[in-house]
Amino acid sequence: MGSGQAVVVYGAYGHTGRFVVAQLRDQGFVPVLSGRDPEKLRALAASHPGLEVRPAPVDDPGALDRALAGAAAVVNCAGPFATTAAPVIEAALRAGIPYLDVAAEIEANVDTFAQFADRARAAGAVVLPAMAFYGGLGDLLATAAMDDWTAADEAHIAYGLSSWHPTDGTRTAGRISRERRGGRRVRFTGGQLEYHQDAPPILEWAFPEPIGPRAVIGEFSMADVVTIPAHLAVPEVRSYMTTEAAGDLSAPDTPRPAAVDELGRSEQTFLVDVLVRSGGVERRAVASGRDIYAVTAPLVVEAVDRILSGRTRTVGVASAGELFDAADFLGALAPHLTVDLRR
């Protein structure tokens, strides 16, 4: 992998960005450290000798062009993506390189599809939003579960997190998303996104062992409600979150994730249970692992490698399941994820 190709990481000094930088180096790429804060970039570079630093304010197209010059791809890890996604995509299109981000912001992902689909397709460019734990992983699992189905009646994505210690970026992104939709909740039903103000249902989801049945918040909508319907004919897409993890996220005093191993991962574990249903027939895909922020790094770096090596199925703005062979992609993540396709 990698072959020494330069990949710009915008927002390299953020919590997820640091994992992405390390994963790129492990896979033979040369990360270029970029973002809005020169001091934070220099501090990060001190722990990665030899890596180039290219500061670039998101509202300075010239600086963004210089940051991306000579790179093979750019990975945007800098939230809020409502602010950063469009300018960095514009710069990637000018540079003629693929753009990937790790956005969990539903509205930012909707904007990316709406604003750049035609231009990216016409340019033969790849723009891959939400290539992360939220959005990318659920989409890959749902696509793999469907296998030879061309359509399904429903897709359900249940998140079994042992806990959720959010980063500052997660809190900021959540606040901006709530502001953009006026405090309403969002769901994908009847083939479209709907915004509403009713209270979310509390349900029980029968997670596989070792988690087992757990109380979950129904319609805890994440980026999956954008990525999955973007290419799969599924009119109902619902996601669920264990109540304990949702409580962690909403509590103002929940601490940030704390590293407990040499890779910088937290002790938090996850299990993602995806169910697709068509005409009374069900198929499942399950993934489990550790640290939702850390696991985003192998997801997005595997995507970078596949794009740069030509292992893609389309161009334009695309979800992970549309762009890649989903089952093969998930299989390549074996060192980082345990995946069970129960077709």
The beta strand positions in 13-142, using DSSP E, are: 30-35, 53-55, 73-76, 99-101, 126-128
Q: What are the structural domains of the chain?
A: 6-132+296-326 (3.40.50.720), 133-292+334-342 (3.30.360)
Q: Write the single-letter amino acid at 49.
A: P
CA 30 to CA 63: how far, in whole Å? 20
- Contact (Cβ atoms closer than 8 angstroms) between residue 226 and residue 320: no
Entry field: residues in the chain? 343
- What is the torsional sign of CA 232, 182, 168, 69? positive
CA nearest neighbour of 131 among 87, 74, 175: 74
User: Half-sphere exposure of residue 342, counting CA atoms within 13 Å on the CB side?
Assistant: 15
**Residue 261: how many CB atoms within 10 A of its CB?**
11
Q: What is the pLDDT along the chain (343 residues), one digit of tens a residue?
A: 767 999 999 999 999 999 999 999 999 999 999 999 999 999 999 999 999 999 999 999 999 999 999 999 999 999 999 999 999 999 999 999 999 999 999 999 999 999 999 999 999 999 999 999 999 999 999 999 999 999 999 999 999 999 999 999 999 999 999 899 998 999 999 999 999 999 999 999 999 998 999 999 999 999 999 999 999 999 999 999 999 999 999 999 999 999 999 999 999 999 999 999 999 999 999 999 999 999 999 999 999 999 999 999 999 999 999 999 999 999 999 999 999 997 6
CA nearest neighbour of 24 among 244, 251, 262, 302: 302
CA 109 to CA 111: how far, in whole Å? 5
